[in-house]
Amino acid sequence: MPISKSNKNLSYPVWTPTIKNQKGKTVYEDLSSNLSGYHNSYWEWGQNPESKRDELWVYNSDIGEVTLYFTNGNKWEKIKYAGKKELKNRVKYELPKIIKKKLERYKK
C-alpha cells in the first residue's frame, strides 16, 4: 500500500489502500483513508469462498481496526469490520487467518 499526503487535512501521511487490475491500472483507491502512515498496517488479498468476490482486508495493529474492501458487481465497497458474520447482502465472511491472529494478539 502506498503512503500519501492526506486529502482530509490530517497532519500525518496515510496508507492509501489501492487496488490495481492485472494490467496495473488503478481500479480503486481509498482517498478517504485515515490510516496513519506512522503505524503498522497489514493487508491480505483473497477471494471469498462463498461469494467468489475479491476482497482486500486491511488491519491497523496500532488501533486494532480492520477494514474490508470487496467487489459488489463492478465496483468496490468498504466497510469497517465489527465482528459481524454477514454483510448487508447476506454474504458470509471470515477474517483471514493472519489478520485474525494479529487481532487476537492486539486484544490481549
Query: Percent of the chain beyond pLDDT 70?
Result: 84
Q: What total of structural domains would you count in the chain?
A: 1
* Residue with more model confidence, 83 or 79: 79
pLDDT given at position 23 = 94
Question: pLDDT band at residue 11, thresholds of 50, 70 and 90?
Answer: confident
Range of the domain at 77: 3-107
Give me the residues paired with residue 68 across strands.
57, 79
Q: How far apart are CA 32 and CA 85, in angstroms?
A: 25
Say what the pTM is.
Answer: 0.75
Decide: residue 78, CB within 10 A, 0-12 exposed, 13-18 middle, 19+ buried: middle
